[in-house]
Structure 1
């Protein structure tokens, strides 16, 4: 009714004018004069900078609100942002794509805070990396560098926390069955990775590592291919020894040992992913090139 009063028209003309405004590309010729006046006056498209500013404000509101809680109705949000309805809606679409906002329509609708999941980010980024045709050579280098630096930092971490982590993990590796499946090995790898990243407060490193590892799994079939039983036992044995040396280096605060073991351990995974574990000479070559003296 505010617009109707301003333009001296009835509520029906206001509703038609607002409908034309919401679809701002619609032609206004042929509409009744007062409706055309409303639609034309309101149909200026918001600029990118206006939308970006509104999105930044709305993002701040969403991130300051617990996941799943209501920010308010659409009118509430428009009032908080001080923008037009179309600008608010376009800003909301941007945030929905980011995963930080959910918009629900209807009687119990409104704008709700949301949080993007790590799995969602991993999936989206991996898909984008595939469209770029990136090489696993470079993503593997990044993952290896991240793990090495994480172990370097872990070896220098606060002693009580580092020793507690080592005490928790060491028995799991010591008791690992030589016949452990690749799935069991991978789960233990992920458990240690999570513990190390928690020790060094490395949530960002964890995210990048997960993305690169997921991309490598998609592109390198060697990660999941079954090896000959003897070759698999060799892989498990070398991997187990490398992990125990990593943990020992962390426990002793020995950066050189932790980093050297990390380089060796990563080479075993890279070798498997790249198919180097498919034949006996290759296995012996990987062991010889990366054995710890």
Structure 2
């Protein structure tokens, strides 16, 4: 029994060491051949291969066979992680109400922080986004626009946790729960107006107005979700 525990601990520790080696390099960089890593890490071949499977499942290394074979630094795909977390929430019984209770606070904070963004490329991207708001008039176009709006604002916030929470909230609502928003012309009109006003407030660096509008946006989305689900979100 003790041998099993020690063996499992060694595999986990080796997996962490492989992950650390990967993170010390750029994506795609060569970490080392299997024989090199056996010597470097001081473990057996079975232990290294078990550890490699763990690190590979976490998308932190890729193992290549044949010519130029060996271990290479890799990086997890953000969208894969977001979808996994959204499904985890569904399996845990999470509801849209749970998501909205958190995301409405995060969205308001994201808007406030975005006002202080000094990255001119991001501000230019937001300005170009504003120009396209008026052309979106179908539910699918509004959903795509909403996803882009959330992405830009959360990136401008400069807080990676905000980016993750907003992305998970959107994925959970649209992908996991199949929420049918923007079905009416009135909803689409309100959504476009709020997006437009929020973006312009951010570009004007008006934190107070941005926060107020973000709260209105969250309240509107919550009302539409309630209308769609019969108030059971």
Instruction: With the length of structure 2 as denominator, give the TM-score of the two structures.
Output: 0.83
CA positional deviation for 1:151: 0.3
Match of 2:222 in 1: 270
How far apart, CA to CA, are the structure 1 residues paired with 2:110 and 2:26? 31
CA positional deviation for 1:64: 2.5
| Structure exhibiting the larger radius of gyration computed from Cα positions | 1
Q: Is 2:135 aligned against 1:176?
A: yes
* Deviates further, 61-70 or 116-125: 61-70
What does residue range 191-202 of structure 1 map to in structure 2 within 5 Å?
Answer: 191-202=148-159
How far apart, CA to CA, are the structure 2 residues paired with 1:202 and 1:56? 26
Match of 1:214 in 2: 171
CA positional deviation for 1:250: 1.4
CA positional deviation for 1:199: 2.2
Q: What is the total number of aligned residue pairs between the two structures? A: 229
What does residue range 207-286 of structure 1 map to in structure 2 within 5 Å?
Answer: 207-223=164-180, 227=183, 232-274=184-226, 276=227
Structure 1: stretches of 5+ with no match in the other structure = 1-24, 26-43, 283-293
Q: Check 1:56–1:220 CA distance in 2 against 1; reply closer, same or farther (3 A cut).
A: closer
Q: Check 1:126–1:170 CA distance in 2 against 1; reply closer, same or farther (3 A cut).
A: closer
CA positional deviation for 1:165: 4.8
For the aligned residue pairs, the C-alpha RMSD in angstroms reads 2.9
Task: Give deviations 1:78-109, integer Å, cap 9, x for gaps.
Answer: 11212222322222122112111122445653
Q: Does structure 2 conserve the Cα–Cα contact (< 8 Å) formed by 1:140 and 1:216?
A: no
CA positional deviation for 1:166: 4.8
Q: Check 1:95–1:162 CA distance in 2 against 1; reply closer, same or farther (3 A cut).
A: closer
* Deviates further, 118-127 or 145-154: 118-127
Match of 1:129 in 2: 89
How far apart, CA to CA, are the structure 2 residues paired with 1:239 and 1:84? 59
| Aligned counterpart in structure 1 of residue 72 of structure 2, from 112, 129, 151 | 112
User: Residue 62 of structure 2: SS of its match in structure 1?
Assistant: strand
How far apart, CA to CA, are the structure 2 residues paired with 1:172 and 1:105? 47
CA positional deviation for 1:159: 8.9
* Deviates further, 239-248 or 102-111: 102-111
User: Residue 223 of structure 1: SS of its match in structure 2?
Assistant: coil
Match of 1:84 in 2: 44
Q: Check 1:125–1:168 CA distance in 2 against 1; reply closer, same or farther (3 A cut).
A: same
How far apart, CA to CA, are the structure 2 residues paired with 1:190 and 1:161? 19
User: Residue 99 of structure 1: SS of its match in structure 2?
Assistant: coil
Q: Which has the higher contact order (CA 8 A, sep 6+)?
A: 2
CA positional deviation for 1:222: 3.4
Q: Is 2:17 aligned against 1:66?
A: no
Task: Give deviations 1:52-91, integer Å, cap 9, x for gaps.
Answer: 3322221111123333343222111111212222322222
Match of 1:95 in 2: 55
| Aligned counterpart in structure 2 of residue 50 of structure 1, from 10, 34, 48 | 10
Instruction: With the length of structure 1 as denominator, give the TM-score of the two structures.
Output: 0.68
CA positional deviation for 1:51: 2.7
Q: Does structure 2 conserve the Cα–Cα contact (< 8 Å) formed by 1:162 and 1:251?
A: no
